[in-house]
Amino acid sequence: MSTQEAAKHLFEAHQRRERFAPLPSALAPRNLDEAYAIQDAYVAMRAQKLGGIAGYKVALTSAEMRRFVGVDSPQAGAMLESTLHRSPARVRAADYVRLIVEFEIAVRLGDDLPTADYPFDRDRIAKTVDAVIPALELADDRNADYKELARHPLELIADNCWNEGAVLGTPVEDWRGRIDLAAVRGVATINGNKVGEGRGADAMGHPLDVVAWVANQRASLGRGMLRGDVVITGSIVTTKAVTAGDRVLFEVEELGAVELVID
């Protein structure tokens, strides 16, 4: 398995707007280390145009979704600088094969999380997070056959967990001691119609536990996280496909709202 060849295959498949499909057997990752190595190389190729890593996403934060895909742990991906948008945001449906959105609580790090401090727990993360933000993840499933995902669970990691960025609401900096992030309720609407709701605890029990998980995952690869990095902590509402003309709104108690219009 050639990491660079696998990453190039993925990169070119995206450029050709091909449907999501498993990598050829000779290039397919055989374990987590290989999957994340391909992801790193693929993200580096994208970063030449889209900017450096500005944060991270965590996929499959619910037990139900992990069972669906056939894995026993969440999966991490990187977010690139130019793909992070401020609410209210607009994107073009034509820029994606099939745009999907997720409804999340994001955090911004106010200090570094160096590998020397590994492992991290919720308390350490709480001291490091300087803002909490309502967020929408932008992803492109490229018309994937979801029934096939369980047969190739590592392919999602290699493809950077389909991330195409995020829309971020207004950062809330005075959250400590005031907001119970596990209890906050978020409501999602599309074109004024409610499409789902959830609570912060729906993401691995607590959003900060998700951040600790990804910080530990990065540290296990010898990589720290940096002040200013944004982490989106997993959707608390089921993923929704959207098309041109849709207006997406996600309102979270005590955190405010985030809005996206698709042209």
In this predicted model, what pLDDT tens digit does every residue of 158-173 receive, in sequence order?
A: 999 999 999 999 999 9
pLDDT score recorded for residue 82: 97
State yes or no: pLDDT of 35 exceeds 90.
yes
Does residue 1 carry a pLDDT above 70? no
Domain covering 52-262 in this structure, CATH number = 3.90.850.10
Q: Which residue has the tokens 């056959």?
A: 145
Question: Taking residues 150-158, what's their average pLDDT?
Answer: 88
Does residue 139 have a pLDDT over 80? yes
**Residue ranges of domains in the chain:** 52-262
Contact 46, 132 (CB under 8 A): no
Residue in 213, 261, 229, 185 with CA at minimum distance from that of residue 58: 213
pLDDT at 152: 84
- Its pTM stands at 0.95
Confidence of residue 216 (pLDDT cuts 50, 70, 90): very high
153 pLDDT band, cuts 50/70/90, is confident
Rounded-to-integer distance, Cα 111 and Cα 131, Å: 11
Radius of gyration of the chain (CA): 17
Average pLDDT taken over every residue of the chain: 94
pLDDT at 247: 98
Can you tell me the mean pLDDT for 151-159?
A: 90
One-letter amino acid at 241 equals: A
Q: Provide mean pLDDT across the span 139-168.
A: 92
Give mean pLDDT, residues 136-144.
96
The least confident of 65-69, 203-207, 238-242 is 65-69
Average the pLDDT over each of 56-65, 126-135, 162-171, 239-248 and give the range with the smallest value.
56-65
The per-residue pLDDT for range 70-100, each reduced to its tens digit, is 777 899 999 999 999 999 999 999 999 999 9
* Helix, strand, coil content of the chain in percent (nearest 5): 30, 30, 35
